[in-house]
Amino acid sequence: MTDTALNLAIILGSTRDGRFGDRVAYWTAREAERHGGYAIDLIDVMALDLPQHHPVGTTPAIDAYRARLSAADAFVVVTPEYNHSYPAGLKHAIDQAYAEWMAKPVAFVSYGGTAGGTRATEHLRAVFAEMHAATIRDYVSFHMVRRQFDANGHPLDRDNPRLAAKTMFDRLAWWANALRAARQAQPYGER
């Protein structure tokens, strides 16, 4: 790590009423703080005022959202798995930007039933490859998520998720520093 904090955008991708994802996202933010080296911006897709369609132009909400993404050196996407994939609201939010994702690393924290959101993560890897982003191999996954957290939003098994998060944040920091230096040396552009 360098002495300069990395700007980390944690994106909460669930827009479902009664969602569990806020607990997972807050835990992720706490683990990023515990890791150190990150300035955190928690972006809740449900709280964004994005248009329901993809306008030809832009809107103030899209501009504000893109500015937050542009400021980030790295991303962690917190995603549930719905019907073997990621939620539509998350995809809509991803698609509202393009250049803001380029040449930046993306890590994943997934949650769900028996698969723990891993299929959503694998589908998102292809989406972010198209955005010219680099996805991190190491991730955190919560299987049968509602059984994994206590009433205060802490995992019942604190050690294993924490160890997985540490590895993920270590690798994310390496890629974020390397790609930030590369973007500073030579701006990235689609060819």
pLDDT at 93 over 50: yes
For residues 13 and 93, is the Cβ–Cβ distance under 8 A? yes
| 6 burial level (CB within 10 Å; 0-12, 13-18, 19+) | buried
- Exposure of 136 in the CB half-sphere (CA atoms within 13 A): 27
- Mean pLDDT over 115-122 rounds to 95
What is the mean predicted confidence (pLDDT) over 76-80? 98
Q: What is the pLDDT of residues 149-168, one digit of tens each?
A: 999 989 999 999 999 999 99
Specify the pLDDT at position 55.
87
Fold that domain 18-185 belongs to in CATH:
Rossmann fold (3.40.50)
Domain limits, the chain:
18-185
